[in-house]
Chains A and B, each alone.
Chain A
């Protein structure tokens, strides 16, 4: 049952990912990208990580893509009029191929292939995924978390300075 569900979701994810690059209309591309993000969120649910799924939908599909759509609307781009370039296709395929090799390598050969850390699937199920994420972020990973916050703050201040004529 779960395998069947996984296959259906994967099919939808792949089709919408292809539509992202093939759609002429940028808004339709953006919609397909939202669909892909949504499918990724479904994977998180199947991996017993509901918090990640909710955040995926909220941040990527909800916030970031709204800004993208907002920009496309403001610039009012209707149809992509740029001509097709064959060298882009070749470059894209090469990058895609190496990404695939990289992913396969990580899946089967690297450390990630052997999940033997302190948090195995059973531990996560017992303690609760959301609680665990919260606890780890505010104890063991406090420094990276704070550095990320400062980075985001700097980005916000930078955006305000760029956008505002008089400060």
Chain B
């Protein structure tokens, strides 16, 4: 059918480009307005109004912030290691965005007789009659998030300043510790699903009218995963790498202008990805009532779940104070890892008898 390039129909390439653009623009817009939403939500929770001056109720604030950061002076400290200093924001930003490639944001839709799965790194094989995606999707996400650490560590080291170095050290220790318990808590999900592919994990949660979510079977794993993810992306109450009361601004103290904006974007893009992954693994992804009958409802449910989890992140930030460093390590190594291991054992025993 139609024109073929390298053995694949033209529609395949068009669908791919469109999916990449849609996912990218979605993450970018969400990142921009998450900064606004965060200030607004925390403002109202603390009985303030938040940004009000730029546009109606401050709606143009993200654009104003972007323009301001774009036109700021670029400063590279004279004692900094220039190459690492320049490349660190990029290393932080790129993994944050490419993680989104494997997350399914909807079911399979059909355009002009060509079936398109709503997931960037997936295609529908007409000959085999099924969707092929990255069959180690979850591991890909974990691998990419472990690369994101380098951005922060390098930024801390390359700035050649005490505050930055402390921030970088704290960040690397914290992220390595919490990656472990996050990974261990997902294993319980794999034991239920028997697959690492995110498409299949979402399909397995489609029973009971779209409400057979893994959070009901694995509430403990869901809780541990979400909390550990918060720690991994340095959100409050685990934002020790940039604790402004002790470290000025932590690893990004010496950064200015667009490079600072990149760290900022990476932080919020990571938040979007973590919320999307939690929604996919535990909240049924794009599943919901009637989602299989009307394919376009899938993305709506997915976005609603992601935004709800992001709201929860901001709520936590407005509510909880920051952890002390030894408490943070105690929580990660002595509480979450044993509990996650116990969860695996219990899941295994129950799974053996059912």
**B176 adjacent to A50 (CB under 8 Å):** no
In the complex, A31 Cα to B146 Cα: how many Å? 14
In the complex, A34 Cα to B150 Cα: how many Å? 10
**A66 adjacent to B135 (CB under 8 Å):** no
Chain B interface: which of A52-60, A140-148, A150-158?
Answer: A52-60
**B153 adjacent to A66 (CB under 8 Å):** yes
Q: Using known A-B contacts A73-B156, A73-B168, A130-B196, determine if residue A66 contacts B139 with beta carbons closer than 8 Å.
A: no
Whether A51 is near chain B, meaning CB under 8 Å from some CB there, is yes
* 7 further interface pairs, Cβ-Cβ under 8 Å (given A58-B143, A78-B81): A34-B147, A50-B134, A50-B135, A62-B143, A69-B154, A69-B172, A130-B196
In the complex, A63 Cα to B175 Cα: how many Å? 10
Q: Which applies to chain B's interface (DSSP): helix, strand, loop or mixed?
A: helix
Residue numbers of A with Cβ under 8 A of B are 1, 25, 27-28, 31, 34, 50-51, 53-55, 57-58, 61-63, 66-67, 69-70, 72-74, 76, 78, 128, 130
**A51 adjacent to B139 (CB under 8 Å):** yes
30 intermolecular pairs with C-beta atoms under 8 Å apart: A27-B158, A28-B83, A31-B84, A31-B154, A34-B147, A50-B134, A51-B139, A53-B136, A54-B139, A54-B142, A54-B143, A58-B139, A58-B146, A62-B146, A62-B149, A62-B179, A63-B146, A63-B176, A66-B146, A69-B150, A69-B154, A69-B172, A70-B172, A70-B173, A72-B157, A73-B156, A73-B168, A73-B169, A74-B169, A78-B81
Whether B96 is near chain A, meaning CB under 8 Å from some CB there, is no
Q: Size of chain B's interface in residues, with CB distance under 8 A? A: 31
In the complex, A50 Cα to B134 Cα: how many Å? 8
In the complex, A18 Cα to B165 Cα: how many Å? 28
Q: Which applies to chain A's interface (DSSP): helix, strand, loop or mixed?
A: helix
Whether B208 is near chain A, meaning CB under 8 Å from some CB there, is no
**B153 adjacent to A57 (CB under 8 Å):** no
**B156 adjacent to A51 (CB under 8 Å):** no
Whether B140 is near chain A, meaning CB under 8 Å from some CB there, is yes
